[in-house]
Amino acid sequence: MKNGVHLITYADSLGGNIRELHALLKNNFSNALVGIHLLPFYPSSADRGFAPITYREVDERFGSWEDVEYLGADFDLTVDFMVNHVSSRSSWFLDWKEKGPESEWDGLFIPVDRLYPDGIPEEDLKKIYTRKPRDPWIPITSADGSTRYIWCTFSEEQIDIDVFSETGRRWLKEELSALCSHQGIKMIRLDAVGYATKKPGTRFFFEEPEIVELFDRCKAITSPFGVELLPEVHEHHSYQERLAGWGLPVYDFALPMLILYAFYSGEASPLAGWLKRCPRNCITTLDTHDGIGVVDVADLLSQDQIEFTVNALYEKGSNMNRRYSSEDYGN
């Protein structure tokens, strides 16, 4: 992966599809950009691509794998892989929902009673780190009429998977390998990877040693293809420091809020302090498709400094919803 400016974009944000995006960038920005992070372009049922129905196809609205590979011939390409969940309309989930234990994907999904046969104790439920103001499971009615609760961290279209089960390990190897086989892909972002570790009695987030084993397993799959991994973890900056210590590239999600605070307040000491200690194997960013994370600067800015910056953003007319910057969303 080249060190330079990379553009993060949806397939239809600059032009209507991948081919038009490619033409625009090649003709106008080839000297400015070295890489493109092409946000999910797979068939998806929700969350603008982040509820993947399959990784084997390109959404026909955006083009084809040939278009993706042509783009990758001119720019280093980063693509997404959702480690934590798949679409409720995917063949994997629909097959399991219909066939249950007879499905080849039995074990890929996570019934709550598999983790907690006697129900979840209240003290355990309070520990679980979620990003939605609801319980992290939904009821599913199978073909035989029975109802079970299954793990669902995000929306009801995004069903959590178990990449530590035997079935999940097979699924991960097959899908990651297929993705890496496409020419031009230099990096795969592991989206929502922190949520993949689910252990009773914990936060269900970034649990060790399971998370380390998962990274090692993913690297063993992608390295033979020459593809790097980029974990996407929105949390306290100490998580990025741990990832960097394991030799993984990381996002500098703290940078946007620190820069904004420096601009709005005229005080640059928090920014300067972070630049002295931040990981050096990082990908800097000033914004993302999800917006600017607040949780990432906890302890780098005081609560008063964070509130000052957030209020300044509203005053400047930023397109923000205060609910997304609340405890309801862990932000």
Catalytic residue numbers, as ranges: 191, 232
**Among 99, 102, 124, 123, which Cα is nearest to 112's?**
124
* CA atoms within 13 A of residue 129's CA, in its CB half-sphere: 20
Give the Cα-Cα-Cα angle 153, 59, 227 (nearest 5 degrees).
70
Here the tokens at position 173 are 């190897």
- Distance between CA atoms of 254 and 234, rounded to whole angstroms? 9
CB contact burial 207-230 (16+ within 10 A = b; e otherwise): beebbeebbebbbebbeebebbbb
Kindly report the number of other CB atoms within 10 A of residue 154's CB atom: 21
Kindly report the number of other CB atoms within 10 A of residue 118's CB atom: 6
- Distance between CA atoms of 166 and 24, rounded to whole angstroms? 44
Letter for the amino acid at 202? T
